[in-house]
Structure 1
Amino acid sequence: MSLALLCPGQGGQHPAMFARVQGDAAAEPILRYAADLLREAPEALAASEARFDNAIAQPLVCAATLATWAALRARLPSPGLVLGYSVGELAAHGVAGSVTPQVCLSLSRARAACMDAASPADGGLLAVIGLSRRRIERLCEACAVAVAIVNGEDHFVLGGRAAGLQAAQREAEALGARTLRLPVHVPAHTPWLARAADAFAGTLQDAAVRTPALDVLAGIDGHRIASREDVIRSLSRQLAQPVDWHGVMAQAIERGARVLLEIGPGSALARMARQAHPDCEARAVEEFQTLEGVVDWVVSALERQAMH
């Protein structure tokens, strides 16, 4: 039974997102580089409304994820899998060694720039819970929006322009669904970002990218990344294609992951994992007061799963 790391996307940023790693010697170089890149301390940006601006949000999420892993790495068993949700997939490659933390943070800034340049000014994302895939597809066609992320059999994120998202929200709620506009201002993982995918592929091609040292599953279809070209292909294609998080998690379970640790800001991935896979143990670093508590839980959870 193996440990899988879950690297979140945007949406969970908050003022205390760097609190657990402040002063940690292993995390410090990452935080320092993030400050140089963003020209302000990441903890200061996290405390401002700028934390939801795409150009700031993506580096902040990656910096928090990488700094947390740097602080935990020497204290935990090597993970069997690393999974990333949206920009978290880029952070996952930083964790897995496909790119250095510095390259990862630089790429997160470039990714955001590619997305902002291609995105319509009124783009965004809408979560919809409680409708079947068939109904969601009809809704997308009627409202001119697209599926961006599949989180579960009845849990989707839709991307599009403001008018389409507003229409989809009204229609979904009329059908009995729960909806939530997400604090993300680009229609990520939809055809609106086709130009961004092409541009980011070129950026990745010129970057110091290599085959990961740990197993990473691609967000668009759950396959194991096997080469440098595969890293580039999966990270660029997911900008304009839906992320199948539901399928990725199913693949992780099939590959033996039974203890799941979310290592970035927020706890949404751990919560979804507990709901979808109750036989596994899933927690987020942010559910613990200290990193020592995280380590104790992981060790105990792996021991419990080994006895099953």
Structure 2
Amino acid sequence: MPRFALLCPGQGGQEAHMFAIANSNPRVAALLDQFDTSQYFGMPLTALLASPSLMFENRFAQPLIVAATLANWLALREELPPPDVIAGYSVGEVSAHAISGELDVGQAIHLASIRATAMQSCVKPQAAHAMLSVSGLPLAPLQEICFSHHLYIAIVTGETNAIIAGLRDDILKAEQALREHAIAQLHLSLLPVHIASHTPLMADALPTMKQVLDKLPFQAITTPVLAGVNAMKSVNSAESKQSLLAQMTQTIRWHECMDALDEAGMNVVLELGPGSALSRMLQSRHPHIACRSVADFRSSSAVAEWVNRQMLRE
């Protein structure tokens, strides 16, 4: 029996047409037309999507991504097989716990908004944060660079690929130090994310998130969700809440999540978007898994056709 998984992205893939697939489904398009976004964004969704700078501003980015991911899921879920497991990258883990049946769409977007505000409050005046993608350097020497520059490994995506985070001044010094090493195949890229997610610098956000999670009435989980910090399956609300808290200050081990999908025998994997970074990473690491993103297609029906065709081949 072929096995099917879903991927829910984090920040980075925002763009003006990120709701296009959802809008290609008339039922979901009607829901989006009626959706009051002012409670989350303080403005109409169309106004937010018209501003590239606002889309990448943390307080908008996190709930916006969750909203787009879940809109795509609503457009597709009746045409797709039920997923065997879901994995969410960073704030995508909030989306995953909605798809798992634990939260409704409004609760998930609200939680993402609270999460964004709590994390943003950890950025102090005159102490900007930054995140730097580093590829081509093994984790051990990268950890040494982080230690000497008061930085942290925030996300690991491979044995020589990671994202480091911390104060912006320290990130820029570390970037310069890495470039001076003149390491072959080294690639560095500052990310359009301005909080040191998944590091101890987010510790002050934990009490707020815990309070909100404790009050949220999580429903029974219908589909396991991989915890980003250890790639273990969350199968009840206590585990889900613990995972959502832990990933705020602890390293996301995305390479282990990808390996867990392979170990669980996933044959077909769909990234719900926005963006396609997760599907590209999984395809590179486990090329035998059929994996694409919703962002690769022009309509929800085309996405469903591809998934169902792949499931029949397995």
**TM over 0.5, shorter chain:** yes
Matched, 1:56 2:60: yes
Q: C-alpha displacement at 1:33, in angstroms?
A: 4.2
Query: Retained in 2: the 8 A contact 1:5–1:262?
Result: yes
**Backbone CA RMSD of aligned residues:** 1.5
1:258 touches 1:281 (CA, 8 Å); kept in 2? yes
Q: Percent identity?
A: 34
Q: CA deviation at 1:122?
A: 0.4
Q: Which runs of 5+ in 2 are unaligned?
A: none
1:13 — aligned with what?
14
Please, which runs of 5 or more residues in structure 1 have no aligned partner? none
* Partner in structure 1 of residue 282 of structure 2: 273
CA–CA distance in structure 2, aligned partners of residues 232 and 181 of structure 1: 30
Q: 1:82 to 1:27 in 2, by over 3 A?
A: farther
Shift of 1:160: 0.2
1:124 and 2:130 correspond = yes
1:114-165 CA-partner distances (Å, limit 9, x unpaired) = 1011234401211000000111111101111100000111110001001110
Letter in 2 for 1:71: A
SS at match of 1:139: helix
**Secondary structure of 1:26 counterpart:** helix
**Post-superposition CA distance 1:35-58 (Å, at most 9, x none):** 543232324312202001111001
Partner Cα distance (1:155, 1:56) in 2: 27
C-alpha distance in structure 1 between counterparts of 2:164 and 2:262, whole Å: 26
The one-letter code sitting in structure 1 at the alignment partner of 2:55 is: R
8 Å CA contact 1:28–1:67 kept in 2: the answer is no
- Please give the TM-score of this superposition, normalised by the length of structure 1: 0.95
Report the equivalent of 1:41: 44
Equivalences for residues 24-173 of structure 1 within 5 A: 24-26=26-28, 28-29=30-31, 32-48=35-51, 49-120=53-124, 121-173=127-179
Letter paired with 2:140: R
Q: For residues 181-229 of structure 1, what are the alpha-carbon distances to aligned partners after superposition, in whole Å with 9 as ceiling and x for unaligned?
A: 1111100000000121232111111112234211111010011112211
CA deviation map 1:240-293 (0-9, x unaligned):
001000001111111111211110210000000110001111100011111111
Q: Does the 8 Å CA contact 1:46/1:60 hold for their aligned counterparts?
A: no
2: CA distance, partners of 1:4 / 1:96: 12
Partner amino acid, structure 2, of 1:57: A
| Partner of residue 231 from structure 1, selected from 237, 240, 243 | 240
